[in-house]
Amino acid sequence: MRILGITGYSGSGKTTLLEQLLPWLAEQGLTVSVVKQTHHDVDLDQPGKDSWRHREAGAQEVMLVSDRRWALLAELREQPRPPLSELLAHMSQVDLVLLEGFKHESVDMIEVYRPSLGKPLLQPANPHIIAVATDFVGLTVDVAVLDINNIPQIGQFVMEVARQV
C-alpha cells in the first residue's frame, strides 16, 4: 500500500484538491483511501446516543454499523495519538492512501501552496515534499511544480508515485 501526503497550510485548498483528485484516480482504476489529520476534537457521535453512552461509560472502542457504512471510534483517554503506521493498520488494503495534513510525517508529500495566503513554502525545509501544487505561475523550486487547476497533470504525477512501491 503506497502512502502519499497532501500537505499545506490551512485554507490552501488541500480538501478541494482531494475532492477533485479522488474521482479522477478512481476513473483510472486505483482504489484510494484518505486519512485526514485534524487539530479539532473529532466526535462522530451525538451526546445521548447509545454509542456515545458506551464510550462515556468506558468502552475503549465502539463500532457503528449500518447498511451503508461503518466507523470505528477509539478513545485515547489521555494516551498519545498512535503513530501513523498503527492507524494505517486499521485500514483495508488499497492501492494508495492519501494523507491530508500530516506535515511532520516522514512520507512523500505534495505541498499545496497559494502565495495569496501570505505563508511561506514548506519546501525546501521539508525534505519529504516531492512536488508543489500551486496557482503561482513561475514558481522555482527543486521539486516538480504542478498546476493546482490541472487535475489530470496532478493525477498522472500521483499515479507515477503510486507505482513506485
pLDDT of residue 40 exceeding 80, the answer is: no
Mean pLDDT of the chain: 90
**What pLDDT shows up at residue 94?**
94
Q: CA 55: distance to chain centroid?
A: 26
Q: What is the pLDDT of residues 77-134, one digit of tens each?
A: 888 989 999 999 999 999 999 999 888 899 999 999 999 999 999 999 999 999 999 9
C-alpha dihedral (71, 75, 81, 82), degrees to nearest 10: -70
pLDDT of residue 49 exceeding 90, the answer is: no
All structural domains of the chain, each given as residue ranges with its CATH number in brackets, are 2-40+80-163 (3.40.50.300)
- Alpha-carbon gap, residue 159 to 165, rounded angstroms: 11
pTM, two decimals, is 0.88
SS3 state at 97: strand
Amino acid at site 163: R
Amino acid at site 131: A
Mean pLDDT calculated for residue range 34-50:
77
pLDDT band at 46; cut points 50, 70, 90 = confident
Which residues, 6+ apart, have CB-to-CB distance to 35 below 8 Å? 84, 87, 88, 91, 97, 98, 99, 100, 102
Q: What percent of the chain has pLDDT over 70?
A: 95
